[in-house]
Amino acid sequence: HSPGVQPADLEEVVKKGVKTVVIGCGMSEALQVPASTVDYLKKNGIDVLVLQTEKAVAEYNALAAQGVRVGGVFHSTC
């Protein structure tokens, strides 16, 4: 769970041209998402949401259903 989701973990998602990335941080929210990761996405013009995994999945599905170019990363370090 530490050091958590790193910018390098998101490079492939960023290359896909998404406008929003939803990051699930685990059922108990134990997965860390450092400020450097959030900054990396924002510097690439991408909105980022960091949520508990169930909420992250629901938000991802809602955004996708609205036609938003969304990428998801769900508890990616395990």
- Taking only Cα atoms into account, the Rg of the chain, rounded to an integer number of angstroms, comes to 11
> So what's the pLDDT on residue 28?
87
Positions of E strands within the chain: 20-24, 47-51, 70-74
Q: How far apart are CA 36 and CA 49, in angstroms?
A: 14
In this prediction the pTM is 0.90
Task: Calculate the alpha carbon distances from 54 to 7, 29, 64, 74 in Å.
Answer: 22, 10, 16, 9
Backbone angles phi, psi at 66, to 5 degrees: -85, -5
pLDDT in tens, 11-65: 999 999 999 999 999 888 888 999 999 999 999 999 999 999 999 999 999 999 9
